[in-house]
Amino acid sequence: MMLARGHAAEATVYQVRFSSPQWLGLAPAIAGVRLPARHEQPPAKRVPPHLLHLFWNTAPAQLDVAASAPFIARRLITSFDPDGLAWGTANLPASAWEHAAATRGLEPAQRALAHNLARHAPHAV
């Protein structure tokens, strides 16, 4: 499938169809899948280039994590982009996710996701 990563990029994407009758047979194998270990990196200072498509109408100053973390968190929550949320989870503080959750116009599921990400934020700014 084609994915937006700063530009269109082809990638193999695996999806589980939980409604499939074969799901129960695959469940033990899928439960054994582990992500590769990630090396600890310092928090990002800016939104990375591969996520700029999510911020296409944003001023460059709003891409600075220290100055605009709540704005970035809200944009990631509303875009529901998996790569963006993964990056935000590793790079945004709990306060940014809580601020995003408190803003108007979010669906209840988006608000719940923001609260959950805040509870599991790796650091504070």
pLDDT for position 6: 66
pLDDT for position 120: 84
Q: Do residues 90 and 122 lie in contact, with contact meaning Cβ atoms separated by under 8 Å?
A: yes
pLDDT for position 55: 95
The per-residue pLDDT string of the chain (125 residues; one tens digit each, 9 = 90 and over) reads 877 766 777 888 777 777 888 888 888 887 887 766 766 778 899 999 999 999 999 999 999 999 999 999 999 999 999 899 999 999 999 999 999 999 999 999 999 999 999 998 875 44
pLDDT for position 125: 44
pLDDT for position 23: 81
- Which pTM does this prediction carry? 0.71
